[in-house]
Amino acid sequence: MDIVVGVTGATGTIYAIHLLKALKDTGTVKTHLIMSDWAKETLAIETDYRLKDVEDLADFVYDNKNLGAKTSSGSFVTEGMVVVPCSMKTLSAIANGYDDNLISRSAGVMLKEGRRLILSPRESPLSAIHLENMLKLSRQGVRMVPPMPAFYNHPQNLEDMINHHIMKLLDQLGLEYSQARRWQG
Ligand SMILES: Cc1cc2nc3c(=O)[nH]c(=O)nc-3n(C[C@H](O)[C@H](O)[C@H](O)COP(=O)(O)O)c2cc1C
């Protein structure tokens, strides 16, 4: 199965890294990674990972400026796309069909083809414009999965909190994840 992973310049690049690792661990998913310029900046600001470390986790890597890449066309069939973290700028681009880079174009392809699109929008506080963009996309069937920590599973560290979010993303793709604790009642 082929999954497109878009990474944008909202805080939380580490979520994308954990997602790529989890998808690689499935052994069945092929990942198509696109990182925006600001995702690369936040990677450097927030983590000790080098760009190459992240790109090595993916099966295919595309330049965000390359609108001729495979994922730009609906004729390249994938199971869906995750944008994590998703900046308010990219959220707006997707919500308004402003497909001027490969991340927003690939997301637009998911919408027009009726494929799975999962966004992890990240901003705080959220303005009415942000909320309207999310609602507009949600009404189109886009899954909004913001990185929101849960405490009912008694996270012991940051890793636990990150993994909980990865579980939420994988749930939307119908993939199991053993690194997080589910609520058992
Ligand atoms: C360290 C850092 C953290 C940021 N965090 C956020 C954020 O949480 N949410 C957001 O919408 N933008 C955030 N931004 C601003 C985006 O990077 C900026 O709007 C950029 O234009 C997004 O472009 P992109 O969607 O193409 O990556 C952050 C920028 C930096 C440098």
Give the count of domains, the chain: 1
Q: Is there an atom of ligand 1 within 6 Å of 130 CB?
A: no
* pLDDT band of 183, cuts 50, 70, 90: confident
Q: Is there an atom of ligand 1 within 6 Å of 42 CB?
A: yes
Distance CA 103, CA 94 (A): 9
Q: pLDDT tens digit string along 88-118?
A: 999 999 999 999 999 999 999 999 999 999 9
Counting residues of the chain whose pLDDT is more than 70, the rounded percentage is 100
Residue 178 has pLDDT above 90, yes or no: no
CATH of the domain at 98: 3.40.50.1950
Q: Please state whether 36 falls in left (phi above 0), alpha (psi between -120 and 50) or beta.
A: beta
Kind of pairing, strands 30-35 and 143-144?
unpaired
The pLDDT, as a whole number, for residue 145 is 98
Let me know if residue 37 belongs to a domain: yes
Distance 119 CA to ligand 1 centre (A): 15
Structure tokens at 143: 């899954």
Distance 103 CA to ligand 1 centre (A): 14
* pLDDT band of 83, cuts 50, 70, 90: very high
Query: How many Cα atoms sit within 13 Å of 154 on the Cβ side?
Result: 1
Let me know if residue 177 belongs to a domain: no
